[in-house]
Amino acid sequence: MINQKDIEEGEEDKSSSSLFADAREEKEKILTIIDNLADGLMVFDKEGKLSLINPVAKKIFEIEKEILGKSIVEFINFPNLKNLFYLLGKEIKEVFRKELEIRKNLILEITSLPILKEGKKLGSLIILHDITREKTIKRMKTEFVSISAHQLRTPLSEIKWTLETLSKEKLGKLTEGQKEILEKAYDSNKRMLALIDDLLDVVRIEEGRRLYKLTLSNFEEVIQSVIESYQEKIRKKQIKFEFRVPSKKLPKIKIDTEKMPLAIQNLLDNAIRYNLPGGMITITLNSTEKEIEFSIEDTGIGIPENQQQNVFKKFFRGSNAVKMETEGNGLGLFIVKNIIEAHNGKIWFQSEEGKGTTFYFNLPLK
């Protein structure tokens, strides 16, 4: 005879069996998803040993032997895995989208995240994203820009020389009208050469050739020489200008004496270009025990708040700057940022549309 207790126990067995089956099915679903991910995936337990690796990761690293259960330190014994160990270390540090060349024609973007539960680290998740194709396309674009810019520079330089020769009346007298036309052509040619120089600077940055020779320099003198070259532009626009330096002599700093003046030029050029007649520009220079501090403040048109996140991107120009029909190619601040960061410095800004902009950067003294 079946009693109530037997029925209840039977129902409990069915219930637990059903829960076990559901859990197993859920686990199989998750493993199927992991196996079919486009990115490589590796999971390490809290002891730093590999507990899961999907087929894409195995293919990326050309793994034929069984490596489950091995610690990341043991990766140094595998030719295709040792660079991953060098990047993450034995503690498997957190990284976000770090580029790592595994071998020729294979570049990965590595992200390492801790697996946490209630604040405790249970392991680490490594995501491997193949960016070889993107890097190849980017390199091809860079090479195209470089070749095109160099090819354009030669004829434009010849045109510049011809216009100078004609303007100086070396080939005969000119009327006032002819002089005016030649001056406009010369200015247009000069702008084109400046654009090509900017494009070549961008190419050098993207190829990793940002600095050449660091020289111990007087930073105040570097800035002063740039200011002197812009005196005529400042005077023409009737801008008030002030260069503030501390009474105490600033320490010398190691800089690229070709690239750093270029960064200052771009910042000062923008402050003049996007200022209003009768406006104000203030450059301030200070230092602490650890760094040189620079700022350039203008009372110009400012940068719209909803566009400020794009300021240091290539070819960005604020909508209000475009409306003013001012010259510019949107490459200057991209170049400045890369020059400052190549010196291990930091650059940032504050701006309010219609009131002006202040750019700041600091450079370490050591």
Q: Which of 29-38, 190-199, 243-252, 287-296 has the lowest mean pLDDT?
A: 29-38
- Please tell me the pTM assigned to this model: 0.61
On the question of pLDDT at 224 being above 80, the answer is yes
Closest residue by Cα to residue 44 from 78, 84, 83: 84
pLDDT at 127: 93
Contact between 307 and 319 under an 8 Å Cβ cutoff? The reply is yes
Pick from 300, 284, 295, 278: nearest CA to 351: 300
pLDDT for the residue 50: 92
Contact 170, 199 (CB under 8 A): no
What pLDDT, on the 0 to 100 scale, is given for residue 264? 95
Asked if residue 240 has pLDDT above 70, the reply is: yes
What would the pLDDT profile of 61-95 be if each residue is shown by its tens digit? 888 778 889 988 888 888 888 889 989 998 899 99
**pLDDT score of 151 more than 60:** yes
CA distances from 102 to 71, 163, 164 (A): 19, 52, 53
Q: What is the pLDDT of residues 337-349, one digit of tens each?
A: 989 998 999 999 9
The fraction of the chain above a pLDDT of 90, given in percent, is: 35
Confidence of residue 244 (pLDDT cuts 50, 70, 90): very high
The tens digit of pLDDT for each residue in 257-292 reads 888 999 999 999 999 999 988 899 999 999 988 999
Read off the pLDDT of each residue in 169-194 and give the average, rounded to a whole number: 85
Q: What pLDDT score was predicted for residue 4?
A: 44
Quote the pLDDT of residue 7.
42
Asked if the model's pLDDT at residue 2 lies above 50, the reply is: no
Torsion angle in degrees (nearest 10) through CA of 129, 135, 138, 142 = 150
Per-residue H/E/C for the chain: CCCHHHHHHHHHHHHHHHHHHHHHHHHHHHHHHHHCCCCEEEEEECCCEEEEECHHHHHHCCCCCCCCCCEHHHHHHCCCCHHHHHHHCCCCCCEEEEEEEEECCEEEEEEEEEEEECCEEEEEEEEEEECHHHHHHHHHHHHHHHHHHHHHHHHHHHHHHHHHHHHCCCCCCCCHHHHHHHHHHHHHHHHHHHHHHHHHHHHHHHCCCCCCCEEEECHHHHHHHHHHHCHHHHHHCCCEEEEECCCCCCCCEEEECCHHHHHHHHHHHHHHHCCCCCCEEEEEEEECCCEEEEEEEECCCCCCHHHHHHCCCCCCCCHHHHHCCCCCCCCHHHHHHHHHHHCCCEEEEEEECCCEEEEEEEEECC
* pLDDT at 210 (0 to 100): 62
Give the CATH superfamily of 214-364: Histidine kinase-like ATPase, C-terminal domain (3.30.565.10)
Instruction: Please indicate whether residue 83 or residue 104 has the higher confidence score (pLDDT).
Output: 83
The answer, yes or no, to whether residue 311 has pLDDT greater than 80, is: yes
User: What is residue 1's predicted lDDT score, i.e. its pLDDT?
Assistant: 45
Q: How is domain 37-130 classified at the architecture level of CATH?
A: 2-Layer Sandwich (3.30)
